Amino acid sequence: MRMILRIAGCALLGLPWAVSAAERPQGELRLRHEVAGASRQGPLALVEALQPGAADTGRERWALEAGLRWVGHQGPLALGIDALAAWQAQDGRLRGRGASRLNELHLGLDAGAWQLSLGRKVVSWDVGHGFRPNDMVQQEQRRTLDGARPQGRPLVLVEHFDAERALSLAWVNPRHRDDGPDRAADGREAALAARAYWRRGELDLHLFARRGERTGASLGGALAAVASDSLAVHASLRIAARHERWAPDAPASGPGDLSNPWWRRRHGRALQGLVGLAWTGSQQQSLIVEAWHDGSALPDSTWTAWNARNLALAAAASPRPADAQAGLLAWQASWQTAPLDAPTLRRDNLYLRLSWQPGAWTLAADRLVTPADRGHVSTLSAQWQGDRWRLTLAGRQLGGPSRAVLAQLPSRRRMLATAEWSW
Amino acid sequence: MNARIALTRLAAGLLAGALLQVGSARAAPDAQALLAAADRYRVEAADQRVQTRVETRDADGTPQKERLYTVYLQTGRRSLVLMRSPAEAGQKVLMHGDDFWLLMPGSQRALRITPAQKLLGEASVGDIATLSWSEDYRGELRGREDCEGTACLHLSLQATRKAVSYQRIELWIGERRHEPLRAELYVQSDKLAKRARFELAGTPARVQAMVLEDHLGSRRTTRVQYLSREARTVPETWMNPMFLARQPNLD
């Protein structure tokens, strides 16, 4: 089957695809320099303290990236490609092309109101900025510092459009089988997803449904509306019958326990919701405010237990233990980083973003706050946009009280500088 | 006899009144008809595609940026602006009367934007995507004036919709051919935002460029040049923001 698909793919690539003047190949060359400052709090800081050099915190990174986007047409067929080639060096060592990837490669059939897509494609449906629970095909990383393009999912997508309505049905990751909770957590499980859209004057209405192989059914809805000349509001809600997330063995094991307490497990119902507004001023300034609840994130009680275990490990490590015990403690502390690998850490979040566009410049400041533990992430960025060049300088700082989860992430601060040339 | 004289006087009076009405109509032509006549210098057809180049210069004349746009203007106050320059390639703005969406490349998301957001930039999307005054404004003839040696008519335009880029426009058109000559564009707060002048060329004469001078802050000059106009009706699906979000071929 795989061989047949490859042969079919080569045959398609061999067709004399016509490229319209408006859809010429486009892309960019980007030079990126990133410096990260390791946190002095949290489990990875403890690992580093116990065994210096054991934690890969990646202090300095250079990357040269080349992006290419191309769409060719042959009658009603269209072939789309979005690819990224990257060369990276970290802490002075060349890491090769580890980050190269094919973001999209899809074949489309244009039958007027009916549209069919087959292949790897980026599809996102939700209306929020900082959190988008109704992106039921794929959950891309939000609020990234470098604005990297997401990678699409393999899918078969059938859609119908008229001037005011749209109906989409996607079979996502069709070749994947139930082979573990990691796939569900990463959105790589096989799933059927549907979206219905209506435009009602100043209101955009969306309804969503999804059935995942492991996570089962979920339903969602979203709206976006313009409230006044300068104010737009949006909201999103999703209810899932099941969800996958990290969970510790209960009760939380102590420092003497040799086993990894963290596992991805299937849990019951989860509610996710977001409300937000976007205001635009007359001096080209704008403000986005969003608040969201993610019921699929770890509950407060689990984070309390996580903090208690971190404290117990830190207490056992002080005074400085013998080498063998240090290794054991470092091993255990490294397990504590497992739940930090989640798109949302705390269930309740508040996000503010201010931006201003004087001429070719865009200046922005944003802050994500987790009220439960007063953790926060603050970002400042300045971008200059010329005809072909785009220069960006951005900095991000994580902070909060010592028990705040965000303050215990491996990197305390990051600085990013990019120079991008579009063609 | 007296009755005949009275009838003759009445008829003469009616005739004089009618003649006066005609004279008065000639003296004050219908403002909406004048706007429609001025529109014909910018609009090729009810549904049309316009290729546009926008060049921005600083107050001292230094070139700042150049952008290329393809604009589809469709009946029912609908328009679609496709950004063509490398720096903005793939961006689109869809306008349905008072409703606007912004589509960014790669995001697959149609973002609802407010009328204020479409004003961002030296040449707002409204400057590029709206070419008809008679549809969106109620005109009033202010009188005859002299426009740098050319006899012109001064029209005051008041927006009939809240979401247009400029709530008030003072427009000067040629008295004989009704071609647009210059304009003053006022935003919601009634501040003068831009001054515009129109450059005509070709046979039949058409507006080839609109030069905008910013009066709110930057003092930049923006030249909106219409490279080509052609009649073009696009499929209804192109006017659906969710269809545009899937990055279809629009050529």
* Spacing of C-alpha A215 from chain mean position: 19
Give the start-end residues of each E strand in B97-251. 99-103, 110-113, 137-147, 150-159, 168-174, 180-186, 192-201, 206-214, 221-231
- Please indicate, yes or no, if residue B197 is contained in any of the structural domains: yes
Beta carbons of A229 and B112 less than 8 Å apart: no
Using the Cβ of B161 and the Cβ atoms of chain A, whether some distance falls under 8 Å is answered with: no
Same domain, B24 and B37: no
Q: What percent of chain A has pLDDT over 90?
A: 48
Residue-wise pLDDT tens digits, A44-68: 888 877 777 766 666 788 999 999 9
Q: Does residue B24 sit in the same domain as residue B38?
A: no
CB–CB contact A229 B106 (8 Å): no
Assess whether B178 and B157 both reside in one domain.
yes
The Cα of B191 is separated from the nearest Cα of chain A by a number of Å equal to 11
> Do residues B23 and B43 both lie within one domain?
no
Residues 117-146 of chain B whose Cβ lies under 8 A from any Cβ of chain A = 117, 119-121
Residue B233 lies in a domain: yes
Compare A167 and A23 and report the one with higher pLDDT.
Answer: A167
Q: Residue A93 above 90 pLDDT? A: no
ipTM above 0.95, yes or no: no
Nearest residue to B119 via CA among B32, B191, B49, B197? B191
Q: Is the CB of B5 inside 8 Å of chain A's CB atoms? A: no
In a domain, B183, yes or no: yes
Question: Cα angle at A281 between A277 and A284, to 5 degrees?
Answer: 115
Q: What count of other Cβ atoms lies within 10 Å of the Cβ of residue B195?
A: 16
CATH label of the domain that carries residue B189 = 2.50.20.10
pLDDT of residue B16: 46
Statement to judge: residues B64 and B15 lie in one domain: no
pLDDT at residue A372 tops 60: yes
B11 and B74 inside one domain: no
pLDDT digits (tens, 9 = 90+) for A266-294: 889 999 999 999 998 877 789 999 999 99
Instruction: Choose the weakest-confidence range: A251-255, A325-329, A390-394.
Output: A251-255
On whether residue B251 sits in a domain, the answer given is no
Is B54 contained in some domain? yes
Q: Residues B161, B83: one domain?
A: yes
Distances in Å between the Cα of B92 and the Cα atoms of A340, B48, B103, B110, B238 are: 37, 17, 5, 9, 11
CA nearest B90: which of A311, A352, A22? A22
Alpha carbon distance B108, B89 (integer Å): 14
Shared domain for B17 and B84, answered yes or no, is no
Report the alpha-carbon distance of residue A114 to residue B192 in Å, rounded: 47
- Residue keyed to tokens 């050319």: B150
Q: Which of the four pLDDT bands, split at 50, 70 and 90, describes residue A97?
A: low
Domain that holds residue B23: 2-29
Question: Both ends of chain B: CA-CA distance in Å?
Answer: 79
Same domain, B15 and B67: no
The verdict on B139 and B225 lying in the same domain is yes
CA-closest candidate to residue A397, choices A417, A381, A420: A381
Mean pLDDT computed over A154-169: 95
Query: What is the residue-level pLDDT of chain B in tens, covering all 251 positions?
Result: 455 555 555 555 544 444 444 444 445 578 999 999 999 998 878 899 999 999 988 888 888 888 899 999 998 889 999 988 887 888 899 988 888 898 887 677 888 888 777 655 555 677 777 778 998 899 999 999 999 888 999 999 999 987 788 899 999 999 999 999 999 999 888 899 899 999 999 888 999 999 999 887 778 899 999 999 999 999 999 999 999 988 777 77
Q: Please indicate, yes or no, whether residues B156 and B177 belong to a single structural domain of this protein.
A: yes
Chain A partners within 8 Å of B49 (Cβ):
none
**Are B112 and A110 within 8 A, CB to CB?**
no
Which of A19, A29, A144, A282 is best to mutate for the B interface (most B CBs within 10 A)?
A282
Do B105 and B56 lie in one domain? The reply is yes
B251 touching chain A per CB within 8 A: yes
- Structurally, chain B folds into a number of domains equal to 2
Rounded CA separation A37/A33 (Å)? 14
Query: From A150, which residue of chain B is nearest by alpha-carbon distance?
Result: B106
Residue pair B222/B210 in contact by the 8 Å Cβ criterion: no
